[in-house]
Amino acid sequence: MRHAPRLLVVALAVALALPAAAAAAPPSASFALSGHEYAFTSTVGCFAGTAGGNAGDRAAWNTCVEHDRLGSEPTYITGGRFAMTTRSPSGHYDYVTGTFVYHGGMVETIDSGVNCTNQRYGVTGALENVSTSTTTGGSGTFAVTLTHYRTRIFGTCIIYRASVVGTASFDY
């Protein structure tokens, strides 16, 4: 019994020195994304939404993608940031962040929306410096289809809503 306090101190020290399983990176490495474009210019598009991971994680995400001026051929991604907060099925919260690789992706027109119909764009980019609470230096991909919903009002074609659907995948 005399050694019990010492054993307890040693056990606590070992437990504190080892990383806890709950503190690991999010279990999911791939997420299905859905959301909306909430801000844009001719060289930046910002999107946010929710996601579901391949290991049951739920997430909220946000990104701003910088790119060459829309209409340029090709339209390369030139920068931007991606951020996601995750919640595992066990209730553990974590995050994933990364930056877009310069010329590591493109914005491509899928449907130009002739006669004020909906426009669709493919936005695909490589991510670098992917980090979580326990990892750094990872990589990833971001790939969504952006749809601009359009209608005519008093003869002018306007975008009244924009949605995105796609995936984000990570190598932690």
Torsion of CA 102, 97, 53, 65, to 10 degrees: -40
Q: Would residue 100 count as lying in a domain?
A: yes
How far from chain centre, in Å, is Cα 116? 30
Q: Torsion-angle region of residue 71: left (phi > 0), alpha (psi -120 to 50) or beta?
A: left
Q: Would residue 108 count as lying in a domain?
A: yes
Query: Considering its fold, how many domains does the chain have in total?
Result: 1
Q: Would residue 118 count as lying in a domain?
A: yes
29's CB contacts (< 8 A; 6+ apart) are: 53, 54, 55, 169, 170, 171, 172
Q: Would residue 13 count as lying in a domain?
A: no
Q: Would residue 59 count as lying in a domain?
A: yes
Tens-digit pLDDT profile for residues 55-68 = 999 999 999 999 99
**Dist CA 22 CA 29 (whole Å):** 16
Q: Would residue 12 count as lying in a domain?
A: no
pLDDT at 114 over 60: yes
Domain coverage including residue 117: 29-171
Q: Would residue 33 count as lying in a domain?
A: yes
Total Cβ atoms within 10 A of residue 136: 10
pTM given for the model = 0.83
Q: Would residue 67 count as lying in a domain?
A: yes
Total Cβ atoms within 10 A of residue 98: 25
**Dist CA 151 CA 153 (whole Å):** 7
Give the residue-averaged pLDDT of 138-145: 98
The pLDDT assigned to 14 comes to: 35
